[in-house]
């Protein structure tokens, strides 16, 4: 239905993506206001329903009400459906259903897929969409089965497997919603190796991007990896390792986080809190109890986020790597940014700068606004919450449930901007780029 609306409006791909996500959020909001969606039989207030639907569709995980105790099975399934559609992209899901009924995928639909998956070409895009659906289903099913078996030691079998599937889908799509109650996330499993390793694996698999997964899977046949895949894998591994080591060192003596844990528990908790900012949102330590230095590190990791073409948000690992490469090249006096003996084109560096500055502008503007509307909150708590919303992470220091109505609206807009991307919104609102028939003379300014 949504796809037919887009076709009638004759929108270009960026505008279609923005409006498509908006319509899905509106549908989810309507369903969550129904009496059958909440345990109290009254439905969510409209603003809280909008916030929850936006958080689920934008696979963020910030919540104003506790998911496990507020919603009925119907309400939870609505949230789960929004997470799945939001994580994979509504065009990917629509393409899958079109293929099921053997409908031909038009050129327009292929262009929409290209835009939603952030690809440079439409070649093989339908095959990639099928791979995404199959891989996602397998990862979620296997993860859900293992988690269900583990949860069965703590709860009835049926409930355990439902919890397992819910948390597998939520974490693979980097959403961070949980059913554990009292906003506790997975803190009760902080030292459990099964839960930690399975959820961490799901987060990483969902966050490295489907192109990377496809290339790694086919490596035995092709014996080659693209530059994109190499940069994603190396940057992801470096960020996880550095983050885990720093969190371990910074929190080792903190009596509220790592200190009471066993040696294995300390390692697992450090690893989990390093991976979840990329941008999953579930946590095994109470985020509010962490030291300021650790919280600032998590803010940085959240802002960087996951990788292109994934279920995660942030400015993306490749953007971060490109900027670091440009800085290193400048320090060394080199003209080119080189990765794995390949040169990065200048327009990619400009695009990385644009994405980063756009993201910083959104975070700074919303942080300033919330500093006015939520005057009683600490600045670091506000900055943490805004970065989490923009990066569609979902980690929280506890500010979100206490937000004013204006604060909730600001966070809703931030989550939406973070999911569809500042550049996509800019392109959707801007006029078509026109060819320039002249160039101005060169000028010089002093930098630094």
Average pLDDT over residues 15-43: 89
Band of residue 10 on the pLDDT scale cut at 50, 70, 90: low
Question: Looking at residue 61, what is its pLDDT?
Answer: 87
Tell me: pLDDT of 381 over 70. yes
Tell me: pLDDT of 269 over 70. yes
> Per-residue pLDDT tens for 385-415?
999 999 988 899 989 989 999 999 999 999 9
> Per-residue pLDDT tens for 417-431?
888 876 566 555 554
The phi-psi region of residue 398 (left if phi > 0; otherwise alpha if psi is between -120 and 50; otherwise beta) is: left
**Structural tokens at position 310:** 């994934």
Helix (H, G, I), strand (E, B) or coil at 43: coil
Tell me: pLDDT of 158 over 60. yes
Residues 6+ apart with CB under 8 A from 12: 428
Band of residue 279 on the pLDDT scale cut at 50, 70, 90: confident
pTM for the structure as a whole: 0.89
Judge contact between 72 and 79, C-beta under 8 A: no
Tell me: pLDDT of 340 over 80. yes
User: Which H or E element spans position 342?
Assistant: strand 342-344
Judge contact between 244 and 302, C-beta under 8 A: no
Block residue for tokens 């943490």: 384
């Amino acid at each position: 239905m949504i796809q037919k609306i887009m076709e009638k409006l004759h929108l270009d791909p960026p505008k279609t993506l923005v409006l498509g996500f908006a319509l899905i959020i509106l549908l989810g909001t309507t369903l969550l206001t129904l009496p059958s969606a909440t345990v109290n039989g009254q439905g969510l207030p409209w603003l809280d329903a909008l916030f929850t639907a936006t958080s689920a569709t934008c696979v963020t995980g910030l919540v104003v009400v506790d998911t496990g105790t507020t919603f009925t099975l119907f309400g939870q399934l609505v949230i789960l459906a929004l997470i799945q559609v939001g994580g994979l992209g509504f065009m990917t899901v629509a393409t899958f259903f079109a293929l099921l009924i053997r409908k031909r995928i038009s050129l327009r639909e292929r262009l929409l897929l290209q835009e939603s998956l952030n690809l440079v070409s439409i070649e093989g895009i339908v095959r990639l969409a099928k791979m995404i659906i199959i891989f996602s289903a397998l990862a979620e099913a296997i993860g859900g089965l293992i988690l269900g078996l583990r949860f069965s030691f703590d709860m009835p079998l049926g409930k355990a497997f439902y919890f397992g599937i819910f948390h597998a889908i939520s974490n693979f799509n980097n959403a961070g919603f949980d059913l554990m109650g009292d906003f506790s996330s997975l803190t009760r499993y902080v030292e459990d190796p099964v839960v930690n390793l399975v959820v961490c694996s799901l987060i990483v698999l969902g966050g490295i991007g489907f192109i990377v997964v496809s290339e790694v899977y086919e490596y035995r046949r092709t014996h080659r990896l693209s530059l994109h895949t190499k940069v994603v894998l190396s940057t992801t591994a470096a960020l996880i390792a550095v983050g885990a080591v720093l969190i371990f060192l910074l929190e080792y003596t903190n009596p509220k986080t790592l200190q009471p844990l066993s040696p294995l528990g300390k390692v697992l908790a450090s690893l989990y809190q390093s991976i979840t900012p990329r941008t999953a949102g579930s946590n095994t330590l109470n985020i509010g109890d962490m030291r300021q230095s650790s919280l600032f590190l998590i803010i940085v990791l959240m802002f960087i986020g996951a990788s292109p073409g994934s279920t995660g948000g942030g400015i993306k690992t490749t953007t971060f790597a490109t900027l670091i490469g440009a800085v290193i090249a400048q320090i060394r006096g080199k003209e080119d940014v080189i990765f794995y003996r390949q040169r990065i084109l200048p327009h990619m560096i400009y695009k990385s700068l644009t994405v980063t500055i756009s993201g910083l502008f959104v975070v700074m503007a919303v942080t300033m606004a919330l500093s006015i509307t939520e005057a009683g909150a600490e600045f670091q708590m506000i900055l943490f919450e805004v970065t989490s919303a923009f990066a569609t992470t979902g980690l929280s220091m506890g500010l979100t449930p206490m937000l004013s109505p204006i604060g909730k609206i600001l966070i809703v807009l931030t989550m939406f901007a973070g999911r569809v991307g500042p550049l996509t919104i800019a392109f959707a609102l801007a006029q078509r780029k026109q060819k320039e028939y002249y160039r101005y003379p060169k000028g010089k300014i002093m930098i630094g």
